[in-house]
Amino acid sequence: MRVEDLDTPVLIVDLDGLENNLDRYHRYFAEHKIGLRPHIKTHKTLAIAHQQMRRGAVGITCQKLGEAEVMVAGGVDQDVLIPFNIIGAAKLDRLMALSRRTRLTVAADSAYTVEGLSAAAQRSGDTVGVIVELGVGGRAGVPTPQAALELAQLIARSPGLELRGLMAFPTDARTRPVLQETLALLDQSGLPHPIVSGGSTASALLAHEVPELTEHRAGEYCVGGVGHLRRGTHTVAQCALRVLMTVVSRPTPDRAILDGGSKSLSASTIQDGDHTSMGYIVEYPQARFSGASEEHGHVDVSACDPKPQIGERVQVLPVHPCPCVNEHDELVAVRQGRVEAVWPVSARGKIR
């Protein structure tokens, strides 16, 4: 089957672009002796996770327990990090069941989380690894190095838990002082930190500027997206994830309507100069994907010459690959116009 035979809208991944990204990022991390722990929340697809492991990933990152369950059941079961506070009996029971099937590490940023983890581990008679989340990104995480030390001490003395170190998101050279201060406090107290985990695709190829990191979590590196294209870490060819769409209407000379809207791309936008964009059209770089309703993509084609015609098909790079993939049941793997595989997006919608 060829890409022309696919009905639209359809999510495709260009295998040459995907493999190029996997090769160059995995090579970088191998050269710098930092473990790469891909975040599977981007692709949610077993076939890609297996490729990442085959290229030497130290394990995977899953934001949610449900994603981890899918990955482990699908054989990506060597080493899993869940950088999330697991709260509540239902999840804690599932977590302990999962910990019997893989080497599992979870993050915590409060005594509440740690006490829940310890109680669950004692009930099940198993041990779970825990890292302290540092609050460097304005999201979750302990607010100071001293608070990190106190939480690490609590983890270290809690039955059923094994203190494994620290994580932060995002990390770059600016996060280094907080990491250094926290590690010094742990060292003074004789606390172990075999994992010092950084994260984000934007800073991935600069991870060597934070030599304290033992590993780095990146998700979007494998397929890119409009933000990475603008930042220059990915070329158009390296932005491997695309939604193939058809022009279904040209209501005015300057407007085109595509058959994919927010239910195909997600509602994510990016500020592009003075306008907001929802995607980048590979065949028409001058076009402005200015907005979308659920099933209609709204494109300003005033700067295009020639302009796309009704019935024409275009490839759209999403602004944010992770929620875009979450809108689709399948990911069609394409190489040079030929369909090589259709992969189920197995961890789609696994938000619990």
The yes or no reply on residue 218 touching ligand PLP (CB under 6 A) is yes
Do 315 and 308 form a contact (C-beta atoms < 8 A)? Answer: no
Q: Are strands 275-277 and 279-281 parallel, antiparallel or unpaired?
A: unpaired
Q: Which of residues 65-124 bind ligand PLP (CB under 6 A)?
A: 83
Minimum CB–partner distance for residue 125 and ligand PLP (Å): 29
CB 258 within 8 A of CB 245: yes
By CB under 6 A, residue 225 contacts ligand PLP:
no
Q: Measured from the CB atom, is 209 or 300 closer to ligand PLP? A: 209
15, 334 contact by CB (below 8 A) = yes
> Within a 10 A sphere around the Cβ of 342, how many other Cβ atoms?
15
219 binds ligand PLP (CB under 6 A): yes
Owner of token pair 């699908």? 74
CB 183 within 8 A of CB 212: yes
Please pick, from the candidates 217, 234, 313, 348, the single residue that binds ligand PLP as defined by CB under 6 A: 217
Q: Select 199 or 260, whichever has its Cβ closest to ligand PLP.
A: 199
The contacts of residue 184 (CB under 8 Å, 6+ apart) are: none
Nearer to ligand PLP (CB atom), residue 213 or residue 245: 213
List 39, 43, 44, 328, residue binding ligand PLP (CB under 6 A) = 39
Shortest CB 311 distance to ligand PLP, Å: 35
Residue number with CB closer to ligand PLP (228 or 242): 228
Nearer to ligand PLP, 40 or 117 (CB): 40
Rounded distance between C-alpha atoms, residue 59 and residue 344, angstroms: 21
Q: How far is the CB of 253 from ligand PLP (least distance, A)?
A: 38
Binders of ligand PLP among residues 181 to 210 (CB under 6 A) are: 199-202
- Name the minimum Å distance from CB 297 to ligand PLP: 23
CB of 135 to ligand PLP, least distance (A): 12
| Binding of ligand PLP by 220 (CB under 6 A) | yes
3 or 322, CB closer to ligand PLP?
322
Specify the residue, 193 or 288, whose C-beta has the smaller distance to ligand PLP.
193
Q: Cβ of residue 101: shortest distance to ligand PLP, in angstroms? A: 22
Query: What is the nearest approach in angstroms of ligand PLP to the Cβ of residue 215?
Result: 11
- Asked if 169 touches ligand PLP (CB under 6 A), the answer is yes
Per-residue binding string, ligand PLP, 226-265, x by CB under 6 A, is: ----------------------------------------
Place of tokens 């030390």: 149
Nearest approach, Cβ of residue 137 and ligand PLP (Å): 8
Residue 220 CB, nearest distance to ligand PLP (Å)? 4
Binding site for ligand PLP (CB under 6 A): 39, 61, 83, 169, 199-202, 217-220
